[in-house]
Amino acid sequence: MPVARTHSIALVGVEGYPVEIESDIENGLPCLFLVGLPDTALREARDRIRAAIINSREQWPQRRITVGLSPASLPKRGSGFDLGIALSILAAAGTIPAAAIDGVAFLGELGLDGRLRPVRGVLPAVVAAAGAGFREVVVAQANVGEAALVPGLRVIGAPSLTAMLAWLRAERESDEAAAVYVSDEDAPSERPRSPDIEQAASGSRRRSRSNSGQNGNSPAGLESRQDREAARLGSARLAAPSHPCPDLSEVLGQPVARRAAEICAAGGHHLSLLGPPGAGKTMLAERLPTVMPTLGREEALEVTSIHSVAGTLRTGSPLMTDPPFCAPHHSATKAAIVGGGTGILHPGAASLAHRGCLFLDEAPEFSRDVLDALRQPLESGEVVVARCGVTARFPARFTLVLAANPCACAKGTGARSGCTCTPTARRRYLARLSGPLLDRVDVKVELLPVTRAELLSDRHFAESSPAVAARVVAARERAAARLHGTPWRLNAEIPGSELRRSFPPAPGSLAPLERAMDLGQISARGVDRVIRVAWTLADIAGIARPTVGETSYALGLWLGAGA
């Protein structure tokens, strides 16, 4: 057969696009040409694929080979096309039947010895394959657990090219067989399999289970029926850490700051913490995700897709159901925070914190350009990265937490603090946080040093994270019931125009805001943010609409409340 076709998936950001791989073999000098906008890693696939085929005891066609990747206008990056290219070449040479590779998407990198290696971004690629109508997808064994999170697909995990060819040829005598994992037991298979191949596959599964303790790449966590059901239903949780989880009760003192953390968790609002070292800013920020609700099925898949593209998923626990927490160093570049790169576009810290918390400790030490780059995702909930010939969109709807010292020396402003900074130096230090950025922060709290009495007595009265999380869940349920039928799920996501038109507070409750606007203390954007916080306070209190009390408290938090 002169021309054969297979299929794979190209990733642009976290979105996948089906790619048709065509191989044509004709008379001419032995060579391999790749066309269709391949990048450097994909152009190097020529040598990897040739070595993998030869070392898998297959015959390499000693003729002119042309491999086309369609659509040709879509940039193809990465090594995930190796398996699809190799199988299309072998099918064009007549080594394997062309019907065996029809309707299957192939994802995997080939080693020189023919082993199938895992690649990044398998989850969004499999989601795109399911959306394109594929019923089967082939991945490396290490990617089986991640690919199996998508229902309605048969997932085939192959350890090597030899095993994949044995599965395609239905060779009972093969030494290796592809380990088949069905992500949805109700999904029919497009290709009926003979009892011999089913027996070979089950034997491979038994070998995989027996070797799971020795091979860290085998999907041992998905072998039992219980684990398969957990993955299919989306109820799998991250493995329990060996160290104790942080708890909000460990933050002693700072009642206003702890209350502010609860408000931000309930409504998705952004938080600014100002205070001297040791006041509890970092402890509070690290414990904010512990009072956030666990992610739903769609949210978990969305977050997991981002971390899959970034290559930060934990082995053995592919589905992320806890809100992520990301705390980049203040020396991070703009590309590290908002995403980008010169080659493959990678998500930044803002996207890795999607549906979770992005913590910027020592915020004034960050570059001004980096901080200003966050203004777009704070408004739109996504990051748009444009490069030559491609534009990628990364979801970035997170809760921002800014922490800052009152001055550069970080000794505080008390009478016994020993700070020698002048008022001008303090203003210059805090002015590194631009006004437009702070205008997008809903809650601002100033922390004071914790006293000895608070350290000794507050530990008996501080609420734990589960107690606060229960109120947060109840407040979110009230907001979800009110926002039913709208595209928003949290108070912080409601546009200002819709907020004033469809969700007005109680009559007379906006009087504090009117006075603040007359005095020039708040902008129009700030008014919308204060109303959103007031709605969150009403949800926590369990009242129908915000009153003047909730509006006054929300205004105080926006202007900057002292703890």
What is the secondary structure of 365-430 as a DSSP string? GS-HHHHHHTHHHHHHSEEEEEETTEEEEEE---EEEEEE-SSTT---SSTTS-----HHHHHHHH
Give the orientation angle of helix 524-541 with respect to helix 255-267, to 10 degrees.
100
The 3 state secondary structure assigned to 109-165 is: EECCCCEEECCCCHHHHHHHHHHCCCCEEEEEHHHHHHHCCCCCCEEEEECEHHHHH
Burial status of residue 341 (CB atoms within 10 A of its CB: 0-12, 13-18, 19 or more): middle
Helix (H, G, I), strand (E, B) or coil at 189: coil
Residues 6+ apart with CB under 8 A from 187: 135, 151, 152, 153, 154
- Asked if residues 413 and 405 have their Cβ atoms less than 8 Å apart, the reply is no
Maximum mean pLDDT: which of 429-438, 521-530, 534-543: 534-543
Residue 187: predicted pLDDT: 43
pLDDT, average across residues 265-285: 94
What pLDDT sits at residue 1?
Answer: 53
pLDDT per residue over 343-402, tens digit each?
Answer: 678 999 999 999 999 999 999 999 999 999 999 999 999 999 888 778 899 999 999 999
Q: Which residue has the higher pLDDT, 328 or 183?
A: 328
Q: How far apart are CA 39 and CA 45, in angstroms?
A: 10
Band of pLDDT at residue 235, cut at 50, 70 and 90: very low
Instruction: Please state, rounded to an integer, the average pLDDT across all residues of the chain.
Output: 85
Top-confidence residue, 541 or 153: 541
Domain residues of the chain, as ranges?
3-233
Q: In sequence order, what are the beta bridge partners of 216? A: none
Question: What integer is the mean pLDDT of 508-516?
Answer: 93
Question: In sequence order, what are the beta bridge partners of 445?
Answer: 273, 561
Averaged over 231-242, what is the pLDDT?
Answer: 39
Banded pLDDT at 186 (limits 50, 70, 90): very low
User: Could you read off the pLDDT of 316-348 as tens digits, one per residue?
Assistant: 778 999 999 999 999 999 999 999 877 678 999
Say yes or no to pLDDT of 561 above 60.
Answer: yes
pTM of structure: 0.84
**pLDDT computed for residue 559 by the predictor:** 92
448 confidence band (pLDDT: 50, 70, 90): confident
User: pLDDT category, 170, cuts 50, 70, 90?
Assistant: confident
Most confident option among 218-227, 229-238, 276-285, 454-463: 276-285
Please enumerate, as own/partner, the contacts of 188-195 that have beta carbons within 8 Å and a separation of 24 or more. Answer: 188/135, 189/135, 189/136, 189/154, 190/103, 190/135, 190/136, 191/100, 191/103, 191/136, 194/170
pLDDT of residue 216 exceeding 90: no
Structural contact between residues 201 and 178, judged by C-beta atoms closer than 8 angstroms: yes
Across the range 188-211, mean pLDDT stands at: 37
Q: What is the CATH number of domain 3-233?
A: 3.30.230.10
The whole-number pLDDT of residue 241 equals 43
pLDDT per residue over 96-128, tens digit each?
998 889 999 999 999 999 999 999 999 999 999
Question: What does the alpha-carbon distance between residue 48 and residue 85 come to, in Å, rounded to a whole number?
Answer: 11
Tokens representing residue 104 in the block: 């299957």
Mean pLDDT confidence for 36-60: 91
Residue 219 pLDDT > 80: no
Stretch 506-515: mean pLDDT: 92
Distance separating alpha carbons of residues 517 and 512, to the nearest angstrom: 9
Q: How confident is the model at residue 47 (pLDDT cuts 50, 70, 90)?
A: very high
